[in-house]
Chains A and B, each alone.
Chain A
Amino acid sequence: MIRLSIPLRQALARLSLPLMIAAAFGVMLLGKADALLAERLRSHLSDALSPIYAALAEPMGAVRAAVEEVQALARLREENASLREENERLRRWHSAALALESENDMLRRQLNFLPEAAPAFLTARVVADGGGTYARAVLLATGPQHSIRKGQVALDERGFVGRVTEVGSRSARVLLATDMNSRIPVTLESSRARAIMAGSNGARPRLSHWPEGVVPMEGERVVTNAEAGAFPAGLPVGIVRLSAQGAPEVELFARLDRLDAVRLFDYGLRGILPPESVARPEPRQGRR
């Protein structure tokens, strides 16, 4: 330590604060004059301090993990409550499903019900729409190795699309349900009434020929009908919508305006086929 006389030391002590405040203003000016100075000093400082922070990283990580653990525990509580509630609801559904299943079994035993075999299907890509005889039809690319027959039912991933009307060696044409020439026997699901869904070249086919005393209800589900042996029963078709004039129409589940691939199902039905095919029915191969 440098030995100084007491008055000098006192003077220095009294002067140091104003001196340092002046120095602070000097530093401010310096920082304004050289904007990069602070950046450079900061990077030097963080270089010097990085070992300390690196050493601290481990305990800090532990602290952070502990905090997150506590938060997770708090969340766990309400999650648990909601899961418990959901479990309760699912248990109710489960018991309902079990009851329905046993009821179904009982009814089948009484009816001597014959289960349907799973239908064979193949998937074909839609390559063109329109063209041909019909206004609403699509062309599918198929191969000679595929056994496609007239009258096969086309479905997309949502519901009924149409029927195969023409079969070439490498292509097949599907008449869509919206075409003017399409007549599909359907069942209105809630009233079990039969009706005919007739295409109109518009987006929504009309319903007609429903029995007296039954009115198609808005929002009612429409499925295919096995009448006349052209379709299997119960394929999903669409929902009843009333038009502005009050005429019942069907909003199809299938998205006919953006078909990219359809599945062709072979149900082995040959009820109503286009005329020339009735003349020479093809032998149907066994179900795959």
Chain B
Amino acid sequence: MATPPFRRPHHGRPAPAPGLLRRIDDFARLAFPGFSTGFLMVLAAAPISLPSPVFATALPCIFFWSVFRPAAMSPPVIFLLGLLLDLLTLAPLGAGVLVLLVVHGVVQRFRRFLARQSFLAVWLAFCAAAVGAAALFWALQALLALRLPPFAPALHAALLSAGLYPAIALLLTRVHEAMRQAETAP
């Protein structure tokens, strides 16, 4: 992350607007995962006649960025996204925050292992994580509301997010590759 404040001019060309563009670029790259995830969640919360897929879209994004770009998907960002999740889904305040943070923590632990695996293995790991997250979310809702919510919506959310993961991951992989190229380019 430690970037030199000034871009070294080479080939004798004068440096254009030293530092500023590069910083904006860096910041955009840093902020993209959080903002894109939030935007996707807001889109998913749009009132259409479907079971609300907010949780199911948030989980793949957070999982993906936690594995492949943890610097951009830091705990404070996840905290904000979890708050957004709670507010968009009428869940008790704090439940979504904790679930997303736990997912992030678990993924952090296995990050180095997961990043080297094939897509299929990562997807399988994600499925397990999604089921665990949905179960935790359900348990937290039950605990905070002091009554048992129906279990079917949680199961649907887990299945839906498992199904959405390949599509989202395909898109995010492209973006990630582009970012990496931009970073390695002089």
Residues of chain A touching chain B, judged by Cβ–Cβ distance below 8 Å, are 1, 6, 13, 16-17, 19-21, 23-32, 37-38, 41-42, 45, 49, 52-53, 56, 60, 63-64
Contact = CB atoms under 8 A, between A and B. Distances in A.
Contacts of A30: 93-94
Given A17-B101, A42-B87, A45-B87, A60 B48 contact: yes
Given A16-B75, A20-B76, A20-B79, A56 B46 contact: yes
B76 A28 contact: no
A32 B87 CA distance: 14
Given A16-B75, A28-B93, A21 B49 contact: no
Nearest to A21: B101
Contacts of A1: 23
A52 B38 CA distance: 13
A29 to B, nearest CB: 8
B97 interface: yes
Interface of B: 2, 23, 42-43, 45-49, 74-76, 78-79, 82-84, 86-88, 90, 92-95, 97-98, 101-102, 104-105, 108, 144
B75 A20 contact: yes
A125 to B, nearest CB: 53
What 8 A-B pairs have minimum CB-CB distances, sorted nearest first?
A: A31-B93, A28-B94, A27-B94, A20-B75, A24-B97, A24-B98, A16-B75, A38-B93
Nearest to A30: B93
A21 B98 contact: yes
Contacts of A32: 92, 144
15 contacts: A16-B75, A17-B75, A17-B104, A20-B75, A20-B76, A21-B101, A24-B101, A27-B94, A27-B97, A28-B94, A30-B93, A31-B92, A37-B93, A45-B84, A49-B42
A29 B108 CA distance: 26
Contacts of A41: 87, 93
Given A20-B97, A27-B83, A32-B144, 6 more contacts: A23-B97, A24-B79, A28-B92, A56-B43, A63-B48, A64-B49
A23 B94 CA distance: 9
Contacts of B86: 38
Contacts, number: 76
Contacts of B47: 53
B139 to A, nearest CB: 13
Contact of A17 (B46, B95, B108): B108
A28 B95 contact: yes
Most central of A26, A27, A45, A64 by chain B CB within 10 Å: A27
Contacts of B75: 16-17, 19-20
Contact of B88 (A20, A45, A56, A63): A45
A19 B76 CA distance: 9
Contact of A25 (B2, B74, B94): B94
Nearest to A44: B87
A23 B79 contact: yes
B144 A28 contact: yes
Contacts of A52: 42
A132 B98 CA distance: 89
A53 B79 contact: no
A53 B87 CA distance: 16
A21 B78 CA distance: 10
A19 B92 CA distance: 20
B69 to A, nearest CB: 14
Contact of A16 (B2, B42, B74, B90): B74
Contacts of A21: 98, 101-102, 105
Contact of B101 (A6, A20, A45, A64): A20
Nearest to A53: B46
Contacts of B144: 28, 31-32
Given A20-B78, A24-B98, A31-B144, A38 B49 contact: no
Given A16-B76, A27-B93, A31-B93, A64 B98 contact: no
B79 to A, nearest CB: 5
A283 to B, nearest CB: 75
Contacts of B43: 56
A99 B74 CA distance: 86
Contacts of A42: 87, 90
